């Protein structure tokens, strides 16, 4: 048995300082040559670690928040790889949705018009200022998608170079764009599966509608914003009675859409009115007065009008009381032409009602509000003005589309939904099967799921996105038969029903009586995003691969999209395969600027990340990111980069010392050395436990603290005399055994600490590893050393 060989370095041959930029390039190339980050598809599920990477929205803007959260994932991934796991770490680009749609429209000065035919050889450049003054060019959906590819390819490159520079150990062979053929196919397969299982349905029902984007929106895309409104106190009369009462409303313009009046059943002021009919002022429309527990006697006058539709509660009352549908608002948010005195809009005085409505028609809600207030100032049937006093300001919370500028309206439109309300119990159960990091984030999922009010509205009336793969037959009179949708086979996907012919028909039959029409709507972008685990695993396209990659191990994401991305992903996995999509969710916090505000582009406080790498070194930036606990918001603090930098420098210098000693390395026999090794062992156990719990911040802190306190400040100084083995001025002369024990302990300590630091500081640790340990261990990269 030959003595093990040990490699040394000549400290004088090494650079005085660690050149991080040069090392980053060198080791990136090394890892690429080794294929270090590649997923090995031949290995089984149990030895594989699968990441459901968040596909960033490709819009060309990158900020330090990306650096922060993606580093968290990479630290976890690198640790798993060192544990011997076969890592599947893909990258997706989310180029499906409104941000891309807007950017492409702007850049090329085009508009998507699904009815436009496809132009095979369309070549467009960035539009000039002069071109942008003209009308935008109309292009078909397929051309629009191609333009999207053209533009996002550039953006993807920018993202990739940032992520590469950051040292993300992504397997770049596993990339996808959410709008590419395969993802569109998988989204449409998902729909076919939901439809076949009865989870997807078509409904003509009131849904939340954005009048600017002119599309339906889902509950998850809605946010409340404070808004100042005005209470308008309006007097109603009662049919066949002398009674009157006053309602308070912030939306007087919906008076023509009033279909009922309600108050709390125990409200003594109004009990005598229940069962009677009220007559609306100006329009003289008789509407039922009914009691409802949902009416709050404390709000306004305690009695209110129900309109189609002022808000979500109106929808509830409309359903439960089977009230009439009088929809005055059109999809553009303006009051549509209609006639009072017919069955839908009955009136005691049709002529007066139509005259009043003529003042409102064509106006938007704000304009109509002003106009109707003026009308209500005129004397009514009682001889008094229905507007009994001047409007009073009131603060209210109003629902907006998260990307919209005007309040949402409730319109009755045709939409596709996925059934979720009746599956809350199962959804909650799946949420409990998943481990949330930090744990309290599970509450957000639970609360959202428990309070879900409406099914998932899947359809959007937009142009760019994944088309809903459905056609409808037209009957002999040319009327659309929505009850018998025509679906493609899975082999035909992806399809665009506006461009592709319905199965069993000729293209010439499009729009003709007895022919067909294509569904114009596209999917909610979350419909595709909620499939990222299945997109990674090639669900329904490659069964063997799917078995090896699904469910995934971790889903990294931020907390504000628990109700959307996490929720819908859980819902999809449950509906499709009755499975969880992943076992663990790791939630990164936000980066706050020094004033504790969230960094965002719109607030102009974004710090672009690239220069941080040049200035501090990638390892130092990663150190900053990894110092933050999962779920905790962190202030942007350049001071922490400096600490990270100091750590890499110290590692560099300590390694120079430890590995600079020539000669044999003996067994660890000295008492001091054995004590050190014992402490080292305890550190490894503790840090490993932390890493296993995805608590890398704790592992880093413990390792760092040990490194400074026990290694450099204490043990290294204690071991120095023996390592040098000098006998200056009467000092003790150490034996060869004492010397070689010290060297062995120092090398062991360094090698262990390097490996504990490696997930966070991949470059400096790889650099030092290469000096000696790579040759000794036969493992050319520390990132595979266990």
Partner RNA sequence: GGACGCGUAGCUCAGUUGGUAGAGCACCGCCUUCACACGGCGGGGGUCACAGGUUCGAGUCCUGUCGCGUCCACCA
Binding of residue 615 to RNA (CB under 7 A): no
CB of 13 to RNA, least distance (A): 13
Contacting RNA (CB under 7 A), which of 447, 481, 543, 614? 447
* ω into 21 cis (within 30 of 0): no
Minimum CB distance to RNA smaller for 411 or for 573: 411
Helix axes 716-724, 736-757, angle to 10 degrees: 140
Minimum CB distance to RNA smaller for 89 or for 590: 590
Contacting RNA (CB under 7 A), which of 63, 629, 679, 725? 629
CB of 269 to RNA, least distance (A): 12
Binding of residue 266 to RNA (CB under 7 A): no
Q: Which of residues 571-600 bind RNA (CB under 7 A)?
A: 594, 596, 598
The Cα-based distances of 289 to 4, 229, 308, 313, 435 in angstroms read 94, 25, 15, 16, 50
Binding of residue 65 to RNA (CB under 7 A): no
CB of 387 to RNA, least distance (A): 14
Binding of residue 296 to RNA (CB under 7 A): yes
Taking residue 239's Cβ as centre, other Cβ atoms within 10 Å add up to 14
Minimum CB distance to RNA smaller for 374 or for 560: 560
Contacting RNA (CB under 7 A), which of 645, 710, 722, 755? 645
The kind and range of the H/E element at 226 are strand 222-238
Minimum CB distance to RNA smaller for 695 or for 777: 695
Spacing of C-alpha 764 from chain mean position? 33
The Cα-based distances of 355 to 283, 338, 352, 361, 631 in angstroms read 9, 11, 5, 10, 59
Total residues in contact with RNA, by rule CB under 7 A? 81
**Contact call for residues 474 and 512 (beta carbons, < 8 A):** yes
What phi and psi, each to the nearest 5 degrees, are found at residue 246? -120, 125
Minimum CB distance to RNA smaller for 105 or for 219: 219
The Cα-based distances of 686 to 580, 676, 757 in angstroms read 30, 15, 14
Q: How far apart are CA 534 and CA 580, in angstroms?
A: 11
Q: Which stretch binds RNA (CB under 7 A): 97-105, 404-412, 505-513, 538-546?
A: 404-412
Taking residue 235's Cβ as centre, other Cβ atoms within 10 Å add up to 18
Minimum CB distance to RNA smaller for 405 or for 717: 717
Binding of residue 621 to RNA (CB under 7 A): no
Q: Which of residues 669-708 bind RNA (CB under 7 A)?
A: 698, 701, 705, 708
The kind and range of the H/E element at 554 are strand 552-558
- How many residues are given for the chain? 786
Cβ neighbours of residue 93 under 8 Å, at least 6 residues apart? 55, 56, 58, 152, 155, 156, 159, 175, 176, 177, 178
Q: Which stretch binds RNA (CB under 7 A): 32-40, 116-124, 345-353, 709-717?
A: 709-717
Binding of residue 443 to RNA (CB under 7 A): yes
Contacting RNA (CB under 7 A), which of 55, 114, 300, 333? 300
Binding of residue 86 to RNA (CB under 7 A): no
DSSP label of 222: E
Binding of residue 277 to RNA (CB under 7 A): no
Q: Which stretch binds RNA (CB under 7 A): 391-399, 527-535, 603-611, 663-671?
A: 391-399
CB of 625 to RNA, least distance (A): 12
Spacing of C-alpha 211 from chain mean position? 24
Binding of residue 310 to RNA (CB under 7 A): yes
Q: Which of residues 484-503 bind RNA (CB under 7 A)?
A: none
The kind and range of the H/E element at 778 are none
CB of 225 to RNA, least distance (A): 8
Q: How far apart are CA 146 and CA 525, in angstroms?
A: 18
Q: How far apart are CA 224 and CA 407, in angstroms?
A: 9
Binding of residue 10 to RNA (CB under 7 A): no
Binding of residue 634 to RNA (CB under 7 A): yes
Q: Which stretch binds RNA (CB under 7 A): 102-110, 417-425, 656-664, 775-783?
A: 656-664
CB of 674 to RNA, least distance (A): 21
The Cα-based distances of 81 to 165, 238, 435 in angstroms read 19, 76, 21
CB of 598 to RNA, least distance (A): 6
Cβ neighbours of residue 416 under 8 Å, at least 6 residues apart? 200, 201, 202, 203, 457, 458, 459, 468, 521
DSSP label of 378: S
CB of 656 to RNA, least distance (A): 4
Give the contact letters, 193-232, x = binds to RNA (CB under 7 A), - = no. --------------------------xx-xxx-x--x-x-
CB of 355 to RNA, least distance (A): 26
Q: Which stretch binds RNA (CB under 7 A): 381-389, 509-517, 644-652, 731-739?
A: 644-652
The 3-class SS string of 103-137 reads HHHHHHCEEECCCCCCCCCCCCCCCCHHHHHCCCE
What phi and psi, each to the nearest 5 degrees, are found at residue 457? -80, 115
Binding of residue 408 to RNA (CB under 7 A): yes
Binding of residue 430 to RNA (CB under 7 A): no
What phi and psi, each to the nearest 5 degrees, are found at residue 412? -90, 110
Q: How far apart are CA 92 and CA 4, in angstroms?
A: 46
**Contact call for residues 309 and 411 (beta carbons, < 8 A):** yes
Contacting RNA (CB under 7 A), which of 371, 680, 716, 785? 716
Minimum CB distance to RNA smaller for 271 or for 339: 271
Binding of residue 327 to RNA (CB under 7 A): no
CB of 691 to RNA, least distance (A): 14
CB of 608 to RNA, least distance (A): 21
Binding of residue 393 to RNA (CB under 7 A): no
Q: Of 686, 618, 692, 530, which is closest to residue 18 (Cα–Cα)?
A: 618
Binding of residue 453 to RNA (CB under 7 A): yes
Q: Bridge partners of 414?
A: 204
Contacting RNA (CB under 7 A), which of 361, 540, 610, 643? 643
Taking residue 573's Cβ as centre, other Cβ atoms within 10 Å add up to 23
Contacting RNA (CB under 7 A), which of 401, 410, 568, 734? 410
Cβ neighbours of residue 144 under 8 Å, at least 6 residues apart? 104, 110, 112, 463, 464
Classify burial at 97, counting beta carbons within 10 Å of its beta carbon; exposed 0-12, middle 13-18, buried 19 or more.
buried
88 sits in the region (left: phi over 0; alpha: psi -120 to 50; else beta) called beta
What phi and psi, each to the nearest 5 degrees, are found at residue 453? -105, -30
CB of 298 to RNA, least distance (A): 8
Binding of residue 511 to RNA (CB under 7 A): no
Contacting RNA (CB under 7 A), which of 304, 323, 434, 756? 304
Q: Which of residues 131-190 bind RNA (CB under 7 A)?
A: none
Binding of residue 312 to RNA (CB under 7 A): yes
Binding of residue 2 to RNA (CB under 7 A): no
Q: How far apart are CA 543 and CA 521, in angstroms?
A: 30
Minimum CB distance to RNA smaller for 106 or for 688: 688
**Contact call for residues 281 and 234 (beta carbons, < 8 A):** yes
Binding of residue 660 to RNA (CB under 7 A): yes
CB of 689 to RNA, least distance (A): 9
The kind and range of the H/E element at 632 are none
Contacting RNA (CB under 7 A), which of 396, 412, 509, 579? 396
Q: How far apart are CA 183 and CA 171, in angstroms?
A: 18
Contacting RNA (CB under 7 A), which of 195, 251, 622, 670? 251
Contacting RNA (CB under 7 A), which of 295, 375, 580, 587? 295
Binding of residue 288 to RNA (CB under 7 A): no
Q: Which of residues 547-576 bind RNA (CB under 7 A)?
A: 559-560, 563
CB of 409 to RNA, least distance (A): 6
């Amino acid at each position: 048995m030959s003595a093990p060989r040990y490699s040394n370095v000549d400290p004088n041959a090494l650079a005085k300082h660690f050149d991080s930029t040069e090392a980053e390039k060198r080791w990136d190339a090394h890892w690429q040559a080794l294929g270090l980050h590649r997923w090995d598809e031949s290995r089984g599920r149990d030895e594989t670690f699968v990441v459901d990477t968040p596909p960033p929205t490709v819009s060309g803007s990158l900020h330090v928040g990306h650096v922060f959260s993606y580093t968290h994932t990479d630290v976890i991934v690198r640790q798993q790889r060192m544990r011997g796991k076969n890592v599947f770490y893909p990258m997706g680009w989310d180029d499906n949705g409104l941000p891309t749609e807007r950017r492409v429209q702007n850049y090329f000065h085009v508009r998507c018009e699904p009815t436009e035919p496809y132009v095979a050889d369309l070549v467009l450049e960035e539009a000039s200022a002069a071109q942008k003054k003209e009308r935008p060019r109309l292009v078909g959906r397929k051309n629009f998608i191609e333009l999207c590819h053209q533009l996002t390819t550039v953006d993807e490159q920018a993202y990739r170079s940032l992520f590469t520079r950051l040292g993300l150990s992504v397997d770049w062979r596993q990339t996808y764009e959410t709008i590419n053929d395969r993802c569109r196919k998988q989204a449409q397969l998902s729909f076919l599966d939901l439809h076949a299982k009865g989870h997807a349905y078509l409904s003509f029902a009131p849904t939340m509608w954005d009048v600017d984007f002119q599309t339906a929106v889902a509950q998850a895309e809605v946010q409340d914003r404070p808004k100042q409104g005005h209470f308008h106190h309006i007097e109603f009369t009662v049919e066949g009675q002398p009674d009157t009462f006053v309602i308070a409303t912030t939306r007087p313009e919906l008076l023509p859409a009033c279909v009922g009046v309600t108050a709390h059943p125990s409200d003594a002021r109004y009990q005598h009115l229940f069962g009677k009919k009220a007559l609306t002022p100006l329009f003289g429309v008789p509407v039922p007065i009914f009691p409802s527990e949902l009416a709050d006697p404390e709000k306004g006058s305690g009695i209110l009008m129900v309109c189609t539709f002022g808000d979500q509660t109106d929808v509830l009352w409309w359903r439960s009381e089977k009230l009439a549908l009088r929809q005055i608002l059109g999809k553009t948010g303006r009051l549509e032409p209609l006639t009072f005195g017919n069955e839908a809009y009955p009136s005691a005085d049709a002529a007066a009602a139509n005259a009043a409505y003529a003042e409102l028609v064509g106006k938007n809600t704000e304009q109509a509000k002003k106009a109707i207030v003026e009308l209500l100032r005129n004397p009514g049937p009682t001889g008094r003005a229905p507007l009994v006093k001047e409007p009073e300001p009131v603060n209210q919370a109003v629902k907006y589309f998260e990307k919209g500028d005007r309040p949402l309206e409730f319109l009755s439109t045709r939409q596709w939904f996925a059934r979720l309300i009746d599956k809350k119990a199962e959804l909650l159960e799946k949420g409990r099967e998943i481990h949330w990091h930090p744990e309290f984030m599970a509450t957000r999922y639970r609360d959202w799921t428990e309070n879900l009010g409406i099914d998932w509205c899947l359809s959007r009336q937009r142009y760019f996105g994944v088309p809903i793969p459905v056609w409808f037959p037209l009957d002999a009179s040319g009327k659309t038969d929505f009850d018998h949708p025509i679906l493609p086979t899975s082999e035909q996907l992806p399809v665009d029903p506006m461009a592709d012919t319905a199965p069993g028909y000729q293209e010439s039959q499009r729009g003709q009586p007895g022919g067909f029409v294509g569904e114009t709507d596209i999917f909610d972008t979350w419909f595709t995003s909620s499939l990222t685990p299945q997109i990674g695993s090639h669900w329904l396209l490659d069964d063997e691969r799917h078995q090896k990659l699904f469910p995934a191990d971790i889903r990294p994401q931020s907390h504000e999209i628990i109700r959307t991305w996490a929720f819908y992903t859980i819902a999809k996995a449950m509906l499709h395969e009755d499975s969880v999509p992943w076992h663990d969710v790791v939630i990164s916090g936000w980066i706050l600027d020094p004033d504790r505000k969230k960094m965002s582009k719109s607030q102009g406080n974004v710090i672009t990340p690239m220069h941080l790498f040049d200035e501090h070194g990638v390892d130092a930036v990663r150190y900053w990111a990894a110092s933050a606990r999962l779920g905790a918001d962190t202030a942007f603090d350049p001071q922490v980069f400096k600490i990270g930098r100091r750590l890499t420098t110290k590692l560099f210098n300590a390694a120079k010392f430890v590995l600079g000693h020539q000669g044999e390395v003996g067994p660890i026999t000295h008492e001091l050395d054995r004590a050190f090794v014992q402490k080292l062992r305890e550190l490894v156990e503790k840090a490993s436990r932390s890493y296993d719990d995805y608590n890398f911040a704790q592992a880093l802190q413990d390792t760092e603290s040990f490194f400074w306190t026990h290694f450099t400040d204490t043990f290294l100084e204690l071991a120095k005399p023996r390592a040098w083995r000098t006998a200056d001025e009467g000092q003790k002369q150490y034996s060869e055994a004492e010397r070689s024990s010290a060297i062995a302990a120092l090398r062991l300590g360094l090698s262990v600490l390097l490996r504990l630091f490696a997930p966070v500081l991949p470059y400096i640790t790889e650099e030092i590893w290469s000096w000696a340990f790579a040759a000794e261990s036969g493992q050319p990269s520390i990132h595979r050393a266990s």
